[in-house]
Amino acid sequence: MNSSDLSRLWNDARIRRIAIQVILVALVVFCFWWLISNTSQNLDKLNKSIGFDFLSQNAGFQIAPTLGTWLFSYEVGQSTYWDVYLIGIINTLLVAVLGIIAATVIGFLVGIMRLSNNIIFRSFATVYIELLRNIPLLLQLFFWYFTVLRSLPDKRGKVDLIPGAVSVNLEGLFLPFPIWHSGAGFAGIILLIAAISALYMRAKSRSKQLMTGHPLAIWRITAGIFAAACLMIVVSVGIPMEWSQPTFIETGPILKQGFDKATAIMIIPEMLAVWFALTLYTAAFIAENVRSGILAVSKGQTEAANALGLSTGQTLRLIVIPQAMRVIVPPLTSQYLNLTKNSSLAVAIAYPELVSIFAGTAMNQVGKEIEMFFMMMVVYLTFSLLTSAFMNWFNHRSKLVER
């Protein structure tokens, strides 16, 4: 190959492009190799190895009672670090899901209020949004947590929200739980059948409305179906369920006084504070998304609806919101993702979610930083991708169908 061959190669656009691609790939591979070899070298120096063996070791520390510890019946000395990981995931998911639901409801309400003609509603919404959006979430978390703590009696006292059923004190919110009797399965099946037939009637009513313009009296039909189902259950098996009676112990050893945890569901105040803070903070952002979505619907739509004689509520529900959804949903997705990721701030106020118990307590005991952070990144990535996938599907559904 002489120099003119070489210059011909250089001047051949196709070969040049291939060469660039090959070199780029080589560079990327080199970077990764360098990163990984450097890390493993440094770990060697510290006498550390990479491995996931620690997951089967027993965890020697206590975790505050939450949904996760209940689901996996966590017990010190019996449960492993893998259980700790799962408990962390469940607790993170719990606040994320509850937060998303509550933030959506409050966000929509406040967003609509922000555009209301009523000055009280409108100014309330404005103040709410500007206040909560502009204060750092961590501060709000502390505010709610210590407000909740400071305003409640300690565990030897209580405030009854619904006497005999729902009470609250510093240990948490106590709720009764359902106790199922025999026949509960049968009742469940009957109710399921009732629900399916109600849905069927609803579909039928809709098709009738499309055909004739007159729907069936769907609410009356649904009520009838369920009344019949309930009657059937009561007649055949009685009421197959009762609520537990939360018992409050006022005598005996002072540390054993308070609610008997075997008789109630306990929701710890850390969980309530995290939920409050995440919900109210995210709702402020969602409210702004909703407002922008509604404003994006042309005013002609509302005027046309008014001209047809629809009420304000109907206009909002049937005309404006469905069209606003396609503007609301994409930013709503990122708010949901933010809420899930922000839940990791809960470590500051002792709510045992993933970052707190897995990256905090467990990591300090076993010292496997790389493996544990990798496992956590997998969790948050999975949550986020699943949320995105669902919201993309929903977005696709609510897109404007153009003919």
Partner 1 sequence: MKNLPLIVIVLVIGGGLGYFLGGGNEQAVEQEAAMETSSESTLEAVKAKGYVQCGVSQGLPGFSNADDNGNWTGIDVDLCRGVAAAVFGDADKVRFTPLSAKQRFTALSSGEIDILSRNTTWTMTRDTQLGLNFAGVNYYDGQGMMVPSSLGVTSATELDGANICTNTGTTTELNITDYFRANNMSFELVAFEKADEVVAAYDAGRCDVYTTDRSGLAAQRTKLTNPDAHFVLPEIISKEPLGPVVRQGDDQWFNIVRWSLNAMINAEELGVTQSNVGSMMGSDNPSIKRLLGEEGNFGEELGLSNDWAANLIKAVGNYGESYDAHVTPLGLARGVNALWSDGGILYAAPIR
Q: Which of 349, 354, 375, 376 binds partner 1 (CB under 8 A)?
A: 349
Q: Write each residue from 287 to 316 as x if it is in contact with partner 1 (CB under 8 A), else as -, in one continuous string.
A: ------------------------------
Q: Where are the beta strands (DSSP E) in 73-177?
A: 159-162, 166-169, 172-175
- Residue 6 sits at the vertex; the CA angle it makes with 3 and 7, to the nearest 5 degrees, is 90
79 binds partner 1 (CB under 8 A): no
80 binds partner 1 (CB under 8 A): no
- State which H helix or E strand residue 249 sits in: strand 248-249
Q: Which of 361, 368, 380, 383 binds partner 1 (CB under 8 A)?
A: 361
How far, in Å, CA of 344 to CA of 92, rounded? 8
- State which H helix or E strand residue 214 sits in: none
Phi then psi dihedrals of residue 259, to 5 deg: -70, 140
- Residue located via tokens 């990791």: 344
Strand-pair category, 172-175 with 265-267: antiparallel
Short-list 253, 398, 258, CA closest to 328:
398
Within 8 A by CB and 6+ apart from 392, the residues are: 333
166 binds partner 1 (CB under 8 A): no
Other C-beta atoms lying within 10 Å of the C-beta of residue 158 = 20
Q: Give yes or no for a contact between 324 and 290, defined as CB atoms under 8 angstroms apart.
A: yes
> Minimum CB separation from partner 1 for residue 352, in Å?
8
Short-list 283, 268, 269, 267, CA closest to 99:
283
270 binds partner 1 (CB under 8 A): yes
Scanning residues 123 to 152, which ones bind partner 1 (CB under 8 A)?
142, 146, 149-150
98 binds partner 1 (CB under 8 A): no
Q: Which of 100, 113, 274, 347 binds partner 1 (CB under 8 A)?
A: 347
> Minimum CB separation from partner 1 for residue 347, in Å?
5
Q: Write each residue from 234 to 253 as x if it is in contact with partner 1 (CB under 8 A), else as -, in one continuous string.
A: -------------------x
269 binds partner 1 (CB under 8 A): yes
Q: Which of 6, 18, 20, 127 binds partner 1 (CB under 8 A)?
A: 20
> Minimum CB separation from partner 1 for residue 155, in Å?
7
Nearer of residues 126 and 257 to partner 1, judged by Cβ: 257
Q: Which of 6, 18, 25, 27 binds partner 1 (CB under 8 A)?
A: 27
Q: Give yes or no for a contact between 292 and 160, defined as CB atoms under 8 angstroms apart.
A: no
151 exposed, middle or buried (CB, 10 Å; 0-12, 13-18, 19+)? Answer: exposed
212 binds partner 1 (CB under 8 A): no
Tokens of 9: 């190669």
| Site size with partner 1, rule: CB under 8 A | 43
Nearer of residues 34 and 243 to partner 1, judged by Cβ: 34
177 binds partner 1 (CB under 8 A): no
62 binds partner 1 (CB under 8 A): yes
Q: Which of 162, 203, 210, 254 binds partner 1 (CB under 8 A)?
A: 254
Q: Give yes or no for a contact between 44 and 330, defined as CB atoms under 8 angstroms apart.
A: no
Binding site for partner 1 (CB under 8 A): 10-11, 16, 20, 23, 27, 30, 34, 47, 60-65, 76-77, 142, 146, 149-150, 154-155, 170-171, 253-256, 268-270, 347-350, 352, 356, 360-361, 363-365
